[in-house]
Amino acid sequence: MRRARWLAPWKGSEEKPVIYHCITRVVERRLAFGREEKEKMRTLMRMQENFTGCRVLAYCLMSNHIHLLLEVPPLPEGGLSDEALLARLGALYGEAFVADVAKKLQDYRTAGQAEAIRELHASYTYRMHDLGEFMKTLLQRFTRWFNAKHERTGTLWESRFKSVLVEDGMAARAMAAYIDLNPVRAGMVTDPADYRWSSYGEAMGGGPRGNGKKARAGLVRALMAHKGYEADARCWEGAVSKDYRMLLLDEGAEKLEKVMGADGEPAVKVVRNGMKKAAVEAELAQLERSRDVALRRMLRCRVRYFSDGAVLGSREFVDGVFRAYRERFGAKRTSGARKLRGNAAAASGILWSVRDLKKDIG
């Protein structure tokens, strides 16, 4: 029997964010995602985001797997208005379909059929504000497109997607950076801003159809939700983006770029992505005196707790989830929080996991 997924005990509450790191892999880990496939997955991801009301805070689409940092807010109290429902439907369905639903709603309201209106809303809203429904629909829609394009049949994904419940604040910040650093760990790029199929690459490069704004808004929420920030791309500029970039960097905010010199010969120049050298040096000096140095280095390693830890956050956060799911554990276990070890030891005492992993932790 499959073990039930770890879900936030406060699901449906406005008290604090519900954030998950979701990972799914292509069957047999085939390198199935090329440029076109990644663009299609991102398009479907944004459509699903607009339909469900869930927020993609960070993401990375790799050649054989994907990562999503997903926030699942509660359905608004009292449900959606007719206008809001129709706007959500427009994210997935064509104009004729939405017009037909609009007519039904209007007819029901004219006839005073409150129960018919409720049932019509419920036939769509059950797929909104829900982790499982978000991932199920996204993966199914992509599979149908992929199989038609490549003239294949059958499943595309190797198993049920994995998820880790993530606390807002330090844990969400570290998880977003870990996700955006996937192509760096894989040796595909040296600067995460150069990988366009990630939240940071999209935020820095603009992305298709203006979605750079959506990526920036998601990262603001991932980094600042614990301080009450909403998903607003306008908050990205300034300290938020610089702080995040410094977390992503290994040796500073510089990268090398090949250019043509004055004599027509290849040359190299330093690009600092909007930060002057003095500012970079000052930021690095500050980081050298902070715990972020160890955290930055840790994030460039494979950390199993980020994909298999089940619950990740402060000690109080993990213990709270443990108490809510006490029946899953033996009678002798008295607490949920377990220190991070191996490659994740730099975050020991800062972040905790509910699972005490023993293998392949570095």
Whole-angstrom CA distances from 93 to 36, 101, 249, 259 are: 22, 11, 41, 46
Q: Give the pLDDT of residue 210.
A: 59
CB 258 within 8 A of CB 271: no
Are the beta carbons of 72 and 134 closer than 8 angstroms? yes
pLDDT tens track, the chain, 362 positions: 467 789 999 988 887 899 999 999 999 888 999 999 999 999 999 999 999 999 999 999 999 999 999 999 999 989 999 999 999 999 999 999 999 999 999 999 999 999 999 999 999 999 999 999 999 999 999 999 999 999 999 999 998 999 999 999 999 999 999 999 999 999 999 999 999 999 999 999 865 555 689 999 999 999 999 888 888 888 998 889 998 998 998 644 444 344 444 444 444 343 444 455 666 566 555 555 455 667 888 899 999 999 999 999 999 999 999 999 999 999 999 999 999 999 999 999 999 999 999 888 86
Q: What angle do CA 23, 28, 33 make, to 5 degrees?
A: 65
Quote the number of domains for the chain.
Answer: 2
Full domain range(s) for residue 105: 82-125
In this predicted structure, what is the pLDDT of residue 70?
A: 98
38: which residues sit within 8 A by CB, 6+ positions away? 61, 197
Q: Would you say 74 and 26 are in contact if contact means Cβ atoms under 8 Å apart?
A: no
Residues 119 and 152 in one domain: no
Residue 318 covered by a domain: no
Does residue 282 share a domain with residue 213?
Answer: yes
Regarding whether 177 and 63 lie in a shared domain, the answer is yes
For residues 179 and 251, membership in a common domain is answered with yes
Query: What pLDDT does 139 receive?
Result: 97
Specify if 342 maps to a domain.
Answer: no
Is 264 a member of any domain?
A: yes
What pLDDT, on the 0 to 100 scale, is given for residue 275? 53
* Per-residue pLDDT at 256: 38
- 329 within domain boundaries: no
Q: Look at residue 26 and tell me if it is in a domain.
A: yes
> Do 269 and 229 belong together in one domain?
yes
Q: In the listed set 277, 300, 323, which residue is the last one of a domain according to the structure?
A: 300
Q: What is the CATH number of the domain that holds 187?
A: 3.30.70.1290
The alpha-carbon radius of gyration of the chain (Å, integer) is: 22
Residues 150 and 186 in one domain: yes
Structure tokens at 77: 């109290």
Considering the domain architecture, whether residues 151 and 221 belong to the same structural domain is answered as yes
Domain membership flag for residue 351: no
- 143 and 231 fall within a common domain: yes
Beta bridge partners of 338: 353
